[in-house]
């Protein structure tokens, strides 16, 4: 099964909002509310920022929010800051035998 | 604070077996609330789930790697390991060990802890 589909890059100016999409199928994103998002800064380990589509782990800024419609999940970052510049990956549980899919990743540039 | 640390060779020859171990500290590996697995990231590319295992032995593998992958757990050492056979240059990647949270009857909800990652290069 193919990876989840994300735009290769997005950009925005400080203070603006951006949205990153993550498109799957009815066998993964569309069937389960088990979509998570990870932020990976250069040279760093991925960090969980959203889980179960909309939930934020303790300590993650409320500027990060998640949503889902049909087979597409989305990550929105509001009030962009310079240190939001990173790669963002979505991930979803999928029906057997695929089980776990990641998106190809989106590079966020803060202009 | 739970920590995971990968260890193993950084260089493997083509056609040989890649072997890595993850040592878990600050918590027990013997819990049904989590499972333990491996994720890799080729240089400059995205993340790929390799597989996961419960301490009880139940395992799940990426179907594209299943024929070459084995994950096993040593509860006495609080460690789990990865073996990937018949490696090629395409297996060159940073390999992360990770803790994955269970959701109801589904083994994967999210990754909540990552090791620092270890680069494994496949080259003669």
B47 to A102: CB separation less than 8 angstroms, yes or no: yes
* pLDDT score of A1: 58
- Please list every residue in chain B whose beta carbon sits closer than 8 Å to the beta carbon of residue A98: 62-63
* pLDDT score of B57: 85
**Could you tell me which residue, B104 or A69, shows the higher pLDDT?**
A69
Given a cut of 70, is residue A76 above it in pLDDT? yes
Q: Say which residue the tokens 């493997």 belong to.
A: B12
Q: Is A93 on the interface with B (CB under 8 A)?
A: yes
- What pLDDT tens digit does each residue of chain B (124 aa) get? 999 999 999 999 999 999 999 999 999 999 888 999 999 999 999 999 999 998 888 999 999 999 999 999 999 999 999 999 999 999 999 999 999 999 888 889 999 999 999 999 999 9
A91 to B96: CB separation less than 8 angstroms, yes or no: no
* pLDDT score of B105: 81
Q: What span, in angstroms and rounded, lies between the C-alpha atoms of B34 and B111?
A: 10
Mean pLDDT for A92-104 is 92
- CB–CB of B38/B84 below 8 Å? no
- CB–CB of A3/A55 below 8 Å? no
Mean residue pLDDT of chain A comes to 96
**Tokens describing residue B115:** 């090791």
Q: Is A39 on the interface with B (CB under 8 A)?
A: no
- Please list every residue in chain B whose beta carbon sits closer than 8 Å to the beta carbon of residue A45: 96, 114-117
């Amino acid at each position: 099964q193919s990876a989840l589909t994300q735009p290769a890059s997005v950009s925005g100016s400080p203070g603006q909002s951006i949205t990153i999409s993550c498109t799957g199928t009815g066998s993964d994103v569309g069937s389960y509310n088990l979509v998570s998002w990870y932020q990976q800064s250069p040279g760093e380990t991925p960090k969980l920022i959203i889980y179960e589509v909309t939930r934020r782990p303790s300590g993650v800024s409320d500027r990060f929010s998640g949503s889902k419609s049909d087979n597409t999940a989305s990550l929105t970052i509001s009030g962009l800051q310079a240190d939001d510049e990173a790669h963002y990956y979505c991930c979803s549980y999928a029906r057997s035998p695929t089980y776990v899919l990641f998106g190809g990743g989106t590079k966020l540039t803060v202009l | 604070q739970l920590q995971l640390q990968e260890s193993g060779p950084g260089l493997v020859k083509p056609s040989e077996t890649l072997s890595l171990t993850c040592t878990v500290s600050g918590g027990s590996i013997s819990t049904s609330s989590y499972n333990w697995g491996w994720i890799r990231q080729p240089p400059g590319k995205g993340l790929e789930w390799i597989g996961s295992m419960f301490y009880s032995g139940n395992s799940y593998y990426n179907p594209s790697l299943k024929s070459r992958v084995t994950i096993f757990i040593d509860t006495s050492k609080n460690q789990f390991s990865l073996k990937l056979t018949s490696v090629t240059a395409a297996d060159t990647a940073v390999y992360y060990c990770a803790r994955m949270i269970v959701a109801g009857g589904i083994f994967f909800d999210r990754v909540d802890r990552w090791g620092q990652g270890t680069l494994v290069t496949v080259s003669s």
